[in-house]
Amino acid sequence: MHILITAGPTREYLDDVRYLSNASSGRMGYALAAAAIDRGHTVTLISGPVSISAPAGCHVIAVESTQQMYEACVERFADCDGVIGTAAVCDYTIKNRIAGKISKTGQSLTLELVETIDVLAELGRQKGTRWIVGFALESQDARYNAVRKLYQKNCDAIVLNSPQVISSEETSVDLIDQSESVIEHWSGSKTTVARLLMSWIDEHLPGRIR
């Protein structure tokens, strides 16, 4: 299979030097890329800014903003059999980016933010017979919100995790399919969980290939 994987954070600049982002390390997405390659798949890895090296054998496309990630995904989606969306994209961007650097004035500053494009939901609208596995990082009403995202993004399955796993080398996840049930629970290193998830994908999703 040819698998498209998104990983890492995105950045939304407020001015020429400051940006909104998050603490995603990209480790989960990069571990999945390595696991997929080890199982003989072709991998296109679309990554936001991270400080780790990509596994040998995958095609890496570096992006920064959410819009750039979306455009890169759409451009390559037609050539892929499935998508794993681990990227922690920014949900908001500034309505009007300020040129130069914002200077202190001694006064409070109000910035108007607008929602960014939902990358995985847009791919879900275009999926056809391709499969999509999403990730949902939730801190409250976790399972309810994960199931909501499963349908909102037209995923075949969604991986539920928590904010505690950000930047960690360990993780603990629930895999939820369209039955809305937790069908697998895995804990351990992100490398180990990535291998387990790829094994599940190979067993359950290849039949959805075009």
**Distance of alpha carbon 56 from its chain centroid, rounded?**
20
Q: What residues form DSSP beta bridges with 132?
A: 83
C-alpha span between 52 and 68 (Å, rounded): 20
DSSP symbols for 146-200: HHHHHHHTT-SEEEEE-GGGTT-SEEEEEEEETTSSEEEEEEEEHHHHHHHHHHH
Pairing outcome for strands 42-47 and 2-7: parallel
Rg, Å, the chain Cα set: 17
Catalytic entry in 22, 96, 154, 161:
22
The H helix count followed by the E strand count for the chain is: 5, 12
Residue type, 149: K
C-alpha span between 42 and 26 (Å, rounded): 19
**Distance of alpha carbon 134 from its chain centroid, rounded?**
7
22 counts as catalytic:
yes
- Considering Cα of 39, then 133, then 175, then 204, what sign does the dihedral take? negative
Annotated catalytic residues are 22
